[in-house]
């Protein structure tokens, strides 16, 4: 059940947040959720803690207005599943603990479900010093979390800013672990003819990574997950090999994207971003080749 604001009915929404070892960011996220323009009696906040080192009681102390539940299976996908199980809303809103939602985030995301079966919102990547990103931040500000492209060109939404009715989620099923859960879940949903849409006014901010090591760590995990997903698809390994060969050549069109980006204001930021782009594309090609040759620890264990 939801509630009303005046004569307008509002569905009950469960906001699900997976959390692991980031109590400070979680505190900020929950605080901003409490300031949403969506009626407070019509949403609940569920934090699914993924075995944080500080212990679940410390997480509960940091998120006093949220329902904090344990998520024993490691991984963002299983944590989101645990949050869904503990929730009661007819609509599910997914956000990551290091995201900062705009005050109208929930209202606009829920409204977008009038036109689509599930939607992804707008994620704006921010740097530590506004207007003065370092090289990695500049790269991230152009390429990280481009939900509009994910949704309109690739056909999936990230799960860090996603809205779906419980009925659709139950029909599609829970998130999987070990693979790119956002891509795989979106593919299952679209295979069932559910319509995916983009909600540009459902805005959250996400801090850019600042170090090359952080960027590599993120992409190492993502490539491992995407390779496992490719192995399950027909001609997936062949498509992976083609993508590996094409990866270094993709620097040219993406460099043009950097030069046209409105996110970067200084010419030196654009040049630094292009340097990181070239370095990252070469590194990704090397890692993709190693994956296709040697596989991941999971595929080696399965003898694939």
pLDDT digits (tens, 9 = 90+) for 214-226: 999 999 999 999 9
The DSSP bridge pattern shows strands 196-207 and 3-5 to be unpaired
pLDDT digits (tens, 9 = 90+) for 44-96: 999 999 999 999 999 999 999 999 999 999 999 999 999 999 999 999 999 99
Per-residue pLDDT, averaged over 1-21, amounts to 81
pLDDT of residue 300: 46
Quickly list H helices, the chain: 23-34, 56-62, 76-85, 105-112, 135-143, 147-149, 166-172, 181-191, 212-231, 236-246, 251-260, 267-294, 297-301
pLDDT for residue 267 is more than 90: yes
294: pLDDT confidence band, cut at 50, 70 and 90? Answer: confident
Domain edges within the chain? 3-207, 212-296
| Dihedral pair phi/psi, residue 63, rounded to 5° | -130, 65
Cβ within 8 Å of residue 65, ≥6 positions away:
30, 34, 45
CA-to-CA distance for 53 and 23, rounded, in angstroms? 10
Q: Which of 10, 19, 164 is nearest to 156 (CA)?
A: 164
SS3 of residue 47 by DSSP: strand
Q: Which of 182, 180, 181, 192 is nearest to 156 (CA)?
A: 182
Q: What is the pTM of this model?
A: 0.89
CA-to-CA distance for 293 and 290, rounded, in angstroms? 5
CATH classification code of 3-207: 3.90.550.10
Cβ within 8 Å of residue 234, ≥6 positions away:
none
pLDDT for residue 250 is more than 90: yes
Lowest mean pLDDT among 3-7, 16-20, 41-45, 179-183: 3-7
């Amino acid at each position: 059940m939801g509630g009303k604001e005046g004569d307008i009915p509002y569905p009950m929404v469960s906001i699900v947040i997976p959390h692991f070892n980031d109590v400070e960011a979680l505190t900020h996220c929950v605080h901003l959720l409490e300031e949403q323009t969506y009626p407070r009696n019509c949403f609940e906040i569920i934090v699914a803690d993924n075995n944080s080192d500080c212990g679940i009681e410390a997480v509960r102390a940091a998120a006093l207005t949220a329902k904090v539940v344990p998520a024993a299976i490691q991984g963002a996908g299983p944590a989101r599943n645990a949050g869904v199980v503990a929730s009661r809303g007819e609509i599910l809103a997914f956000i990551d603990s290091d995201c900062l939602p705009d005050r109208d985030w929930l209202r606009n995301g829920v409204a977008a479900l009038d036109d689509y079966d599930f939607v992804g919102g707008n994620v704006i990547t921010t740097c530590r010093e506004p207007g003065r990103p370092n090289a990695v931040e500049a790269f991230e500000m152009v390429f990280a979390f481009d939900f509009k492209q994910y949704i309109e060109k690739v056909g999936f939404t990230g799960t860090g800013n996603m809205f779906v009715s419980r009925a659709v989620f139950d029909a599609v099923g829970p998130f999987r672990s070990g693979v790119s859960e956002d891509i795989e879940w979106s593919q299952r949903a679209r295979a069932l003819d559910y319509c995916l849409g983009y909600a540009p006014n459902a805005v959250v901010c996400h801090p850019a990574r600042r170090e090359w090591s952080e960027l590599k760590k993120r992409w190492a995990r993502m490539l491992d997950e995407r390779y496992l997903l490719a192995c399950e698809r027909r001609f997936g390994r062949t498509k992976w090999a083609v993508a590996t060969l094409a990866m270094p050549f993709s620097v040219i069109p993406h460099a043009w994207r950097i030069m046209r980006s409105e996110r970067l204001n200084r010419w030196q930021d654009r040049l630094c971003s292009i340097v990181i782009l070239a370095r990252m594309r070469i590194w990704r090609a090397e890692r993709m080749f190693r994956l296709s040759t040697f596989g991941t620890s999971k595929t080696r264990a399965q003898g694939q």
